[in-house]
A and B are shown apart, each in its own frame.
Chain A
């Protein structure tokens, strides 16, 4: 019994004299002293051919904590979850059709590309200011109604006939090599023969979605094909409109 008491007191005395090493940091000037309880060094996601390691070095109480449906991910290692930003690009803004020959469908293309953050899909919609119109004479090239007069801004249909006139577009998902994948666009355009109108803002039509996915994506692209076919009666002139491509994440 005495041995146990002696040991306890010896331990207590020795412990009280031992120095406790702290890992804090402080900076001082003539007027201020700033003390840091801990010194954060590094963290994040490291990969090799065979491993993925996420770590947090320096920060107090890093980890994944859950309670009552709430999840807290504390530490740099979780920062990559939200590091993917929302990006959208259009590779060519000016669509120049040059001189149009009557009864011949003329096309031009550009490529749109999107990247979304973790946990978010996306949708891209389009809207034209007004149908293609000349500034001076106010002549218009009407929006296409496709081969069987059955497409509009919400529905795509086949448009291949040379005697069907108008202005419309098609969008087809492609990969980084330009190979058709239909990803993102197959619900809107079954193939490259399908076209639809742009929603007409001057007619109070809301922008219409033509490309979307429900999961996060990186650099998903679509080739947008613009098509014009005019009749022999179409007045000469320089026709123009503005087409807006609107990209938003899925909430």
Chain B
């Protein structure tokens, strides 16, 4: 049974480049399957899509001032090659920028893909393609000035209970600069001016003049699980000072709804039989 099982490393590279500079990056491609695999390589430019790190390769004009080639002696970009079972191949990608490249970001994916037609049968056939992103900032300084804003910061659900409602933080940050930056920051949860919890954000990239949803370290969907003490809380989303992003705060209440409901139910369970007992004893008389 033919299969595809490929590893690419690194999964992403990020470089600040001075115009006119050429760099090389070695990629290690591993065939984890037990049979030969026929591969090819290409580099495609991408632009971000949506707010969660998705990309699209449609309708993009490649930057003519940045060119890619392989430095391997026996291999060029777009030239098929065979990778033996459980073998590794190093592909050395050369990235060349011309001296008149505009100072801004360019984004690409280095793809290694299976060449079609390995099977001799006339069947619907599937092939695999795996990519590694390349984030390039063309700049004449290593200290690119970041600027951005928090475009969204809220909390769900609207009614919050001490026991039964997980708190989900939704945040989005907009990059107003020409260079990507990372969402280095945290959500600080305070109650009565005391810090209750600090949630560090994942260091996700916000691409130039684009926006990105925040993700929390070690918290799926930035969701805190109950229980919580009842009271008024304030959540502040703040980023590293070097990013020049003003912080944003929201205040909310957590109510003891479920304990109150349980108390009311217990009271009713006690009160109603007593009332009925009284009523029946009266009617007996």
**Number of A positions contacting B (CB below 8 A):** 49
The residue on B at minimum CB distance from A228 is: B124
What is the CA–CA distance of A95 and B124 in the complex, to the nearest angstrom? Answer: 6
C-beta contact mask, A183-215 vs B, less than 8 Å → 1, else 0?
000000000000000000000001101001011
| Residue among A71, A215, A245, A247 making CB contact with B126, cutoff 8 Å | A245
| Residue among A91, A117, A132, A245 making CB contact with B127, cutoff 8 Å | A245
Interface residues on B, range: 35 or more
Chain A positions near chain B (C-beta within 8 angstroms): 68-71, 82, 85-97, 110, 116-117, 119-121, 123, 129, 132, 135, 206-207, 209, 212, 214-215, 226, 238-251
Q: Separation in Å of the A111 CB from the closest CB of chain B?
A: 10
The residue on A at minimum CB distance from B219 is: A215
Q: Separation in Å of the B47 CB from the closest CB of chain A?
A: 11
What is the CA–CA distance of A80 and B100 in the complex, to the nearest angstrom? Answer: 39
B58 at the interface (CB under 8 A from A): yes
Instruction: List, in ascending order, chain B residues with CB within 8 A of A89's CB.
Output: 3-6, 32-33, 128
The residue on A at minimum CB distance from B240 is: A69
Q: Separation in Å of the B207 CB from the closest CB of chain A?
A: 7
Besides A92-B126, A209-B54, A243-B124, 18 other CB < 8 A contacts? A69-B184, A86-B7, A87-B5, A87-B130, A92-B3, A95-B124, A95-B126, A116-B11, A123-B54, A132-B124, A238-B122, A242-B116, A242-B125, A246-B111, A246-B131, A248-B109, A249-B133, A251-B53
Question: Could you show 27 A-B contacts with beta carbons less than 8 Å apart?
Answer: A69-B243, A85-B10, A86-B9, A86-B11, A86-B130, A88-B5, A88-B6, A88-B128, A90-B3, A90-B4, A94-B119, A95-B125, A96-B123, A110-B126, A119-B203, A206-B56, A238-B122, A241-B124, A244-B113, A244-B126, A244-B127, A247-B130, A249-B132, A251-B12, A251-B133, A251-B135, A251-B204
Evaluate whether A93 and B11 lie within 8 angstroms (CB atoms) in the complex, with A240-B123, A244-B129, A251-B135 already known. Answer: no
What is the CA–CA distance of A69 and B90 in the complex, to the nearest angstrom? Answer: 33
The residue on B at minimum CB distance from A108 is: B124
Instruction: List, in ascending order, chain B residues with CB within 8 A of A247's CB.
Output: 128-131
What is the CA–CA distance of A209 and B55 in the complex, to the nearest angstrom? Answer: 10
Among B57, B111, B129, find the residue whose CB has the most chain A CB atoms closer than 10 A.
B129
| Residue among A90, A94, A135 making CB contact with B128, cutoff 8 Å | A90
Instruction: List, in ascending order, chain B residues with CB within 8 A of A96's CB.
Output: 121, 123
The residue on A at minimum CB distance from B216 is: A215
Q: Is the CB of A250 within 8 A of B54?
A: yes
What is the CA–CA distance of A22 and B249 in the complex, to the nearest angstrom? Answer: 54
Q: Is the CB of B203 within 8 A of A215?
A: no
Instruction: List, in ascending order, chain A residues with CB within 8 A of B2's CB.
Output: 92-94
B8 at the interface (CB under 8 A from A): yes
What is the CA–CA distance of A244 and B116 in the complex, to the nearest angstrom? Answer: 9
Instruction: List, in ascending order, chain A residues with CB within 8 A of B207's CB.
Output: 251
The residue on A at minimum CB distance from B218 is: A215
Top 6 A-B residue pairs of the complex, sorted by shortest distance between their CB atoms: A250-B53, A69-B242, A86-B11, A89-B5, A248-B131, A85-B9
What is the CA–CA distance of A207 and B49 in the complex, to the nearest angstrom? Answer: 13
Interface residues of B in 14-38 (CB under 8 A from A): 30, 32-33
What is the CA–CA distance of A230 and B104 in the complex, to the nearest angstrom? Answer: 52
Q: Is the CB of A251 within 8 A of B205?
A: yes
